[in-house]
A and B are shown apart, each in its own frame.
Chain A
């Protein structure tokens, strides 16, 4: 392997490995096709399964008859919700969303009602996927079709059809809690309010107030690898699951809860994962494959089709938002009011709380009133999607702000800087910010060549927007084993979706004075390593990094003890510098890491250490998107001419993979801004459930995506690392909308800003004679 060393900043001079760009340890298997992903599992005697899914968006299940399917030659097992045990409501923590096993079970196999088109009803295991597919079509289901509810505002109306007959609204005081039951039955699962100061007084002191409505529709995470799971339920009751998820322990705990069996009876083996973006945290297939395996007595693999991925797995919420911001002539924001209603899909649990918390986060505003509603709809149950809930809110806030700056006659970046949050300023829940890089990100934009280069040409415009994300902490575990040749193995529970093996290995290497290449990182199964939360919430390089650093520190102490034995001194009297242990008593006494490793069997046996992290101080992230567009007035098509992503990353462990996160999130945001949408027909059918029609950005749709890494160290991590995975998706939609306004003078308030919508807005502009 080769290592390219590049030292961007003064503050990083203290590191040898952090900030370099080694080749990732797992790269070879990925460029040669050798790595095995979820669908690549092959076991002796393995059966293939297919699901039967609802053709209706909302219907009561009157009867399911599986007899014809069971009679088809080659079919070995059929399961429905009747095969699931009855379990209680008992939420389990899934980091970015709360998981309720009863809901997850109902989502995996519907019992009395189907709540969206594509809702799974039954599954068939057979000797080939084609036989399983034929058999699934032979299952007869009798439905009583009900009226679907597809729009957030429609669902909130008093006379709207009820999706859950007994769902009552909860008043929530704190995110991730269930809150107080109001006893009122409706499609509104919860209402959350944040209040600071006095908004009426604040608005009365404003010279200019802008209030706008915004709508967005569901979009999908769009990972290229469909969900896949293979289960083998052994006769002794031990269940093994091979799956590509964002967290093996999460899948284990959910599956055990749904099946009503002890966690110790379930082993989850992580396969390589082909993208997740939040969509592979919750379980869909694992308990179904397990039930089929138990019935058939053979291993069973289920792989979703792309249509099933679109129709049956989590998009993120569509939304209706109203944003009102007031400011004085001098550019000081005096008050903000923000109303958000997010569609949760078929079960409660939209990320509206994050939108409410984070949409206004970049600004110091003393008077704030935020009302957020979680609303159930006949759409697929939403799942986390990169900074869940925040991009929608930022689209509303950053668009409103841009218009307000325009009305005030203040340059938008100056307006943002005037009101930028700093350490100690209060968030909307009253808790002060710790160390944050909001001002640093905004200064970086102003000083960037992209910002300073004038944009010329007709119908061209430039837009900027800020984004914020709180980042996750959660717990991780790591084990380090020293080899006698002075290399180490590093086992963590964090599945690697985009370079976290190398990013975590680099942190252990930094502590131990090793090269990144001296570390062999492995992702362990749930029986091989301590409990570890999901790879999600931008937490892996941060929290699993801390676990690895802590284990590495223990290795260092053990090695110092071994050296102390030899030199007949105390471990406290030994220093470790540049990979060498040195006695402070006698500087001639020196032993390298390799030398201690070589003699470890004679000095006390194998040197190993395990550690877990439970970080309290999570570093939050600010980011921004700066984008130039050209609008085709004939077709309404918006072309991205240039885009630069800015982000405070705390400390870039592996800059290439940090840049990759920034670029990837920016492009997902551009897709969300311009093309992507769930297009539902009136009966609740997704009319564009293929990649061709859903239309994610291709290489031809985009320019190079430039990146500007800003490093404001996070005091909660030994090397200053902040999470980097998610925040880059927050700002692009508003940045593109602001650029479109700059180009042709229209304000787009609905996503996506597809050619038809842009044309419509241009026509209205022309009619209004502007």
Chain B
């Protein structure tokens, strides 16, 4: 059995330390070591986007990142999207537009869409469809998700 690795990182604004094995993915560390189970595993090979997190400002599939690689990095997971003041416009919009059915893909979609709206709050339908093509949803057919992101974009840029 290998010696565990000590990792120091910032998760959802909190300085966080954990011990992991060299073979553990960041997804495993978040879920099994830190108990942040809002980030979901759908495929464990980077094809579904259910484990999307924001790592130093970029969205990544956390199943494709080793836990040890998080050393010194800043992580945002779905648990850090809402604040004490309330839900993020995307979360509110997903609820109002019924943009989720089973909800297993929802955390990944919201984390991915949040990164888009921070750069391009006026992203149009095609841009959103392109940006979210790495996140699979099997329930909705994407229609209501796209509408929810368009709607949240309007809120983020103050048009609604």
Contact = CB atoms under 8 A, between A and B. Distances in A.
Contacts of B19: none
A699 B136 CA distance: 8
Contacts of B98: 21, 24, 499, 654, 656-657, 659-660
A409 interface: no
Given A27-B95, A31-B110, A499 B101 contact: yes
Nearest to A694: B47
Given A33-B38, A498-B139, 16 more contacts: A21-B98, A24-B98, A31-B100, A73-B1, A130-B24, A226-B42, A274-B103, A306-B44, A498-B102, A656-B98, A660-B141, A661-B101, A690-B47, A698-B133, A698-B134, A700-B129
B140 interface: yes
Interface residues of B, number: 61
Given A224-B50, A226-B42, A275-B139, A660 B102 contact: no
A667 interface: yes
Interface string B12-31: 00000000010110000001
State the main secondary structure of chain A at its contact with B.
loop
B130 interface: yes
A656 B96 CA distance: 9
A31 B101 contact: no
Given A274-B40, A274-B102, A691-B47, A660 B130 contact: no
Contact of B40 (A225, A305, A497, A664): A225
Interface string A254-279: 00000000000000000011111100
A663 B105 CA distance: 16
A668 B137 CA distance: 10
B95 A35 contact: no
A591 interface: no
Contacts, number: 189
A702 interface: yes
Interface string A193-233: 00000000000000000000000000001111110000000
A32 interface: yes
B125 to A, nearest CB: 8
A381 B145 CA distance: 33
A660 B138 contact: no
B39 A33 contact: yes
A664 B101 CA distance: 9
A30 B106 contact: yes
A663 B44 contact: no
B136 A224 contact: yes
Interface string A679-706: 0000000000011100011111010110
Interface string A635-666: 00000000000000000001011011101101
A696 B141 CA distance: 11
B136 A275 contact: no
Interface in B40-73: 40-45, 47-48, 50
Given A31-B95, A704-B146, A663 B140 contact: yes
Contacts of A224: 40, 42, 48, 50, 102, 104-105, 136-138
A691 B48 contact: yes
A274 B132 contact: no
B105 to A, nearest CB: 5
A498 to B, nearest CB: 3
26 contacts: A4-B96, A33-B77, A33-B79, A34-B38, A37-B104, A39-B41, A222-B138, A224-B104, A225-B104, A226-B41, A272-B103, A274-B42, A275-B139, A306-B44, A497-B102, A498-B101, A498-B139, A657-B98, A657-B101, A690-B43, A690-B45, A698-B134, A698-B142, A699-B132, A700-B133, A704-B146
A273 B40 CA distance: 12
Contacts of B105: 224, 274
Nearest to A662: B141
Given A24-B95, A30-B106, A699 B142 contact: yes
A223 B102 contact: yes
A33 B107 contact: yes
A23 interface: yes
Contacts of B128: 699
Contacts of B50: 224
Contacts of B125: 704
A340 to B, nearest CB: 26
B10 interface: no
Contact of B133 (A26, A37, A690, A699): A699
Contacts of A453: none
Given A37-B104, A225-B102, A226-B41, A704 B143 contact: yes
A28 B96 CA distance: 11
A2 interface: yes
